Structure 1
Amino acid sequence: MATKEKTPVENAQLKDIISHAKEYGFVFPSSEIYDGLQAVYDYGQMGVELKNNLKNLWWKSMTQLHQNVVGIDAAIFMHPHTWKASGHVDSFNDPMIDNKDSKKRYRADVLIEEKAAQYEADGHYDKASELLVEMGRLLGAEELDAVRELIIREDIKCPISGTTNWTEVRQFNLMFSTQVGSVAEDSSTIYLRPETAQGIFVNFLNVQKTGRMKVPFGIAQIGKAFRNEIVARQFIFRMREFEQMEMQFFVRPGTEMEWYNQWKEARKKWHQAIGIPAESLRYHDHEKLAHYANAAVDIEFKFPFGFKEVEGIHSRTDFDLTQHQELSRKKMQYFDNDLNEDGKPYGNYIPYVVETSVGADRLFLMTLCSAYTEEEITEGDATKSRTFLKFHPALAPVKAAILPLTKKDGLPEKATEIFNSLRYDFNMIYEERDSIGKRYTRQDLIGTPFCIAVDHQTLEDNTVTVRDRDSREQVRMPIGELHSYIDKAVNFKSIFEKLA
């Protein structure tokens, strides 16, 4: 059995994945009957199962495996002062640039990063690094004219027009705003949250006091966020409505880098535990730090369009809690009565924060891209291609399919009995249409790990044939062993043990 060799950066493969995602119920363009809405997508019947499995695994990995991490669910709407304190009102901007010939708009930093990636692909690593450092310096200093000059100097062309006829670089605020209030004259501006982290920070004391939490401890949250992206592209990689899974870990000042490195390693290990190959992941240290950070790194995955961020780990210092303390005039201090090396209490301080932030949609896309497999298989004298989704069994939308060999002779009744015995513990499918081979293929295309064939022998000795998705090998086993056999493969415990 030979697997096709894939080109690392191949947009055609992304097109195949997008097509597959729609055809088999994973992702649909939003409002498609009205020609859709750019950069907004809906998750189909298979997609929502996969996404929920990913979110559930992340949640349990954070809150169930760590006694000092708890969860909350904060509201999307927050007091406008929240975003003033966080810096989003004044500095949540992307550098925007337009090509005068194509009339297309781009993020200036993305154009430069893609040029650096090109240098890196050509083996010019120093040149790539120097370019990114220069970009970080110019953007940090708000030298937007110099950013435009850098783009022109590097001969960065518009992909559409092929020219360097660029406008000036302008800053573009990414927050969506709306009005709250029943009467227009009395309404006030409120924002759709651009991140979930601030809901954690404003609830820091609520959670700490009611949960009697001791530093170091973390607060986790999964929720929707909204950004008016200049260029939303590459399928669900960059959208205007997306979902974040964030954990803010509160630590003593001076210990933040120790915890930063611990979470950096732990989070990469988590991605590998769900089946992402180590060679498809890498760290990328930030050249340009956000205004709140003293260290930041991305965990990047090798998508069909290149290495891109899936998760960020940031040392946010005490910026957020300090800002909220100053603007709200509510103390955000923690009293630490543990003893330091000199035998004295640590006393009052504003904790530092280490953040782990992973996009649920990017995690979904990474999982889908990694699972999408094409291979050549030999059956008898014939060779044919096979496509299947090689999900970790614990993440697969459907865990097993019950397939009676025929629609008669009592096989559907026996298959239904088996289906009903397993359906309360596992997400199952019962299917009796078409040949058994076609049904196997359909289950492969949605990533079902096990197909259970019910045949005439089943009626005689209560055994069934279980086909493995990846190897296509088939084993005969008693019906009574099915539950433990499936559970061993699909239980989150198989992943948790790798994280211990």
Structure 2
Amino acid sequence: MAEPKTNELMEKIVSLCKRRGFVFQSSEIYGGINGFWDYGPLGAELKRNVKELWWTSMTRFREDVVGLEATIIMSPDIWRASGHVDTFADMMRECPMTRKRVRADQVDPVSGVVYRFTGAKAKATGFTVEKAFAFLLKKGEHPESARKKAKEFYALGSIDAGMKDLAGIELIGEATSAVENSVDFHPESNVMLSEARPFNLMFKTYVGPVESEENVAYLRPETAQAIFAQFKNVLETSRQKVPFGIAQVGKAFRNEVTPRNFTFRSREFEQMELEFFIKPDEAIEAISGTVAKPETKGHPGEPQSNWGWQMWHQYWVEERIKFYDNIGLPRTTLEEYWQKPEELAHYARATVDLLFKFPFGTQELEGIAARSDFDLSQHERFSRKPMGVFDDDLRAAWAKLDDVKKQELTKRYYEARARYLTKTGMDSEKAAKKAKEDAEGLAKGQYIPHVIEPSAGVDRLILALISNAYAEEEVTDDKGKAETRVVMRFHPRVAPIKVAVLPLLKNKPELVAKSREVFELLRREMNAFYDDGGAIGRRYRRQDEAGTPFCVTIDFDTLGEKPELLNTVTLRDRDTMQQTRVKIDELLPMLLQRVR
């Protein structure tokens, strides 16, 4: 069957999400609140499965990563150190009539009448389209309705006398198609937007009973900074050594001015972030003699002691792609985008964005950044607490180096530290002095770790999985009638429901009893669902839309109507719709093998 068109596909996905209980709009009975979403029964299970798989792959299957769960509200000094207070902003433009804001890089072209707001009182009593428009807006009309009625009033030549007291609007022009340079106008009111200016994206709150500047705090806009702030505590209590990582899954909040594309860009969301701390290349070279760098594309294999930051960066890019493949997003569905030098954050050495083709366009799922030693250095500078580590291997290796090598490595480390300190605004003399102290610390086995950061959005990943799973196909029912089957082809690992147990008839006590027995057997090991409502074909379709990979049907053969089929069930595969007979005592191990 032909694929639905992009807009149609997104509409179908949104409709299915509500109909089957994946995603609901938050506060829907009160009209909803833009940028916030609730996950229904199926969505909550899907999301839980994804987070659990990420956590397991990151921490339980690895010896070099430990976990952290930090608070949402932290000291505001953390956000000053990270730069969020001063620089975490989108460029915004504002409609001077409605006071609504839009992101400067996301203004859609408009058509029809466009206006410039003058702010002056209308002195003349003569009638104009723009005055009628302003008058109707003042009365509370929706901008779209106000535009249409203003044109009608103009055609009739009539206007309310109170128009003279309204703020003036200057008519710029009319057009039936998109107006040239119309990205300068608000898409709802068609009024010319103000100049772009920064708008901080952090939600502000207050800690304590008094709402004062001294008590200002912020809901965290990312989960990473807590990891950096707790780095020394985790290092000392976990008995880890560099290289090692700290993982965290948690809520973050960004006051997006224009949340869009369903759950893709929200104001409340979850992140899965790893901060993997590594030795600077100068320390690696002192210890190992050389620094390994990538020679080919692809996975570099098991980590080695001589890996520099480039090898670690490539390693984590490949590890993240492998994770997506394991949960049903194969490499062919992803695109790697290596940011150009001019696109990189000032502290980043390299960043790879993993992109997915959503129905509304190709967008970022995850970023894997080589962040140098910026983060720990910033917190050391602002907190005045040491964030460096002592490495006994480095101190021992340094003592064996000849003077030429010591000078070479010291110079490189000094230059890197001096560049960082200068970028922070420190004057050149102080930066040189501090960089010299840091470089001399290498001889004592001391350095500030660098970090590789794979950072993924849970909600974006859930939307990608839903988009990738959605499929429609033509099938023929038992009566030979063609129909469209909607099926969610989730990988069994992430599927919200692993198996549905369906008695053929609900009014036969012996079938129901046996079905409940099988259901109890399965639900102890996986998320199972019991359904006895409606025709069996309709129940299959409901489970197809839920993405349930397997259905188990208990029929009269299960009870021994055919003696050779006693204590067997029908196992239906979601994707192929094929049905096979399976012995009940073989059912659980067979399903466990397929859903894990």
Which of the five TM-score ranges fits, normalised by the shorter chain?
0.7 to 0.9
1:295 has 2:350 as partner: yes
Q: Determine which of 311, 314, 325 is the counterpart of 1:272.
A: 325
CA contact (8 A) 1:338 1:346 kept: no
Q: Determine which of 2, 8, 23 is the counterpart of 1:4.
A: 2
1:225 has 2:252 as partner: yes
Q: Determine which of 471, 480, 501 is the counterpart of 1:373.
A: 471
Offset, 1:485? 1.2
Q: Determine which of 281, 287, 306 is the counterpart of 2:334.
A: 281
1:60 has 2:56 as partner: yes
Between the aligned partners of 1:159 and 1:170, the Cα distance in structure 2 is 15
Between the aligned partners of 1:71 and 1:60, the Cα distance in structure 2 is 11
User: One-letter code of the match for 1:5?
Assistant: E
1:262 alignment partner in structure 2:
315
Between the aligned partners of 1:346 and 1:249, the Cα distance in structure 2 is 23
CA contact (8 A) 1:101 1:163 kept: no
1:51 alignment partner in structure 2:
47
Within 5 Å, which residues of 2 pair with 1:61-460?
61-98=57-94, 105-110=101-106, 160=187, 165-184=192-211, 188-254=215-281, 255-287=308-340, 288-339=343-394, 340=397, 343=400, 347-379=445-477, 381-407=480-506, 408-460=508-560
Offset, 1:292? 3.1
Q: 1:381 to 1:342 in 2, by over 3 A?
A: farther
Offset, 1:41? 0.7
Between the aligned partners of 2:211 and 2:585, the Cα distance in structure 1 is 65
Offset, 1:409? 4.9
Between the aligned partners of 2:581 and 2:199, the Cα distance in structure 1 is 62
Deviations 1:119-144 (A, max 9, x none): xxxxxxxxxxxxxxxxxxxxxxxxxx
Q: 1:185 to 1:219 in 2, by over 3 A?
A: closer
Query: Structure 2: any 5+ residue segments left out of the alignment?
Result: 109-178, 282-307, 402-442, 561-565
1:496 alignment partner in structure 2:
none
1:293 aligned counterpart, secondary structure? coil
CA contact (8 A) 2:107 2:186 kept: no
Offset, 1:110? 4.4
Within 5 Å, which residues of 2 pair with 1:470-489?
470-489=575-594
Q: 1:251 to 1:153 in 2, by over 3 A?
A: farther
User: One-letter code of the match for 2:449?
Assistant: P
Between the aligned partners of 1:295 and 1:107, the Cα distance in structure 2 is 26
User: One-letter code of the match for 1:399?
Assistant: K
Offset, 1:285? 2.7
Q: Which has the larger radius of gyration?
A: 2
User: One-letter code of the match for 2:579?
Assistant: Q
1:395 aligned counterpart, secondary structure? coil
Higher relative contact order (CA 8 A, sep 6+): 1
Q: 1:69 to 1:101 in 2, by over 3 A?
A: same
Between the aligned partners of 2:391 and 2:375, the Cα distance in structure 1 is 19
Offset, 1:488? 0.8
CA contact (8 A) 2:201 2:256 kept: yes
User: One-letter code of the match for 2:231?
Assistant: F
2:172 alignment partner in structure 1:
none
CA contact (8 A) 2:102 2:257 kept: yes
User: One-letter code of the match for 1:160?
Assistant: P
Between the aligned partners of 1:454 and 1:376, the Cα distance in structure 2 is 27
Deviations 1:341-362 (A, max 9, x none): 9846781000011101000000
Structure having the larger proportion of residues in strand: 1
Between the aligned partners of 2:98 and 2:480, the Cα distance in structure 1 is 53
1:237 aligned counterpart, secondary structure? coil
Between the aligned partners of 2:36 and 2:537, the Cα distance in structure 1 is 36
Between the aligned partners of 1:268 and 1:179, the Cα distance in structure 2 is 40
CA contact (8 A) 2:206 2:212 kept: no
1:118 alignment partner in structure 2:
none
1:309 aligned counterpart, secondary structure? strand
Q: What's the TM-score once normalised by structure 1's chain length?
A: 0.85
Offset, 1:378? 3.4
2:69 aligned counterpart, secondary structure? coil
User: One-letter code of the match for 2:447?
Assistant: Y
The count of residues paired between Structure 1 and Structure 2 equals: 448
CA contact (8 A) 2:186 2:192 kept: no
CA contact (8 A) 1:221 1:246 kept: yes
Offset, 1:166? 4.2
Between the aligned partners of 2:214 and 2:495, the Cα distance in structure 1 is 46
User: One-letter code of the match for 2:567?
Assistant: N
Q: Determine which of 28, 32, 43 is the counterpart of 2:28.
A: 32
Deviations 1:381-403 (A, max 9, x none): 43221101100011111111111
Offset, 1:187? 5.8
Deviations 1:446-481 (A, max 9, x none): 011111000111112100000000100001010011
Offset, 1:65? 2.2
Q: What's the TM-score once normalised by structure 2's chain length?
A: 0.71
User: One-letter code of the match for 2:221?
Assistant: P
2:55 aligned counterpart, secondary structure? helix
Between the aligned partners of 1:386 and 1:275, the Cα distance in structure 2 is 21
Q: CA RMSD in A?
A: 2.4
Between the aligned partners of 1:258 and 1:320, the Cα distance in structure 2 is 20
- The sequence identity of aligned pairs, in percent, is 48
Offset, 1:105? 3.4
Offset, 1:180? 0.6
Deviations 1:120-179 (A, max 9, x none): xxxxxxxxxxxxxxxxxxxxxxxxxxxxxxxx9987576937979443111111111111
Between the aligned partners of 2:212 and 2:372, the Cα distance in structure 1 is 40
Query: Structure 1: any 5+ residue segments left out of the alignment?
Result: 113-151, 492-500
Q: 1:77 to 1:185 in 2, by over 3 A?
A: closer
Deviations 1:71-90 (A, max 9, x none): 11011111111011111111
User: One-letter code of the match for 1:105?
Assistant: R
CA contact (8 A) 2:107 2:187 kept: no
Offset, 1:316? 1.2
Deviations 1:291-313 (A, max 9, x none): 43222121110000010011111
User: One-letter code of the match for 2:312?
Assistant: W
Between the aligned partners of 1:109 and 1:186, the Cα distance in structure 2 is 32
Deviations 1:233-268 (A, max 9, x none): 111101111100000000111222221121112212
Q: 1:247 to 1:110 in 2, by over 3 A?
A: farther
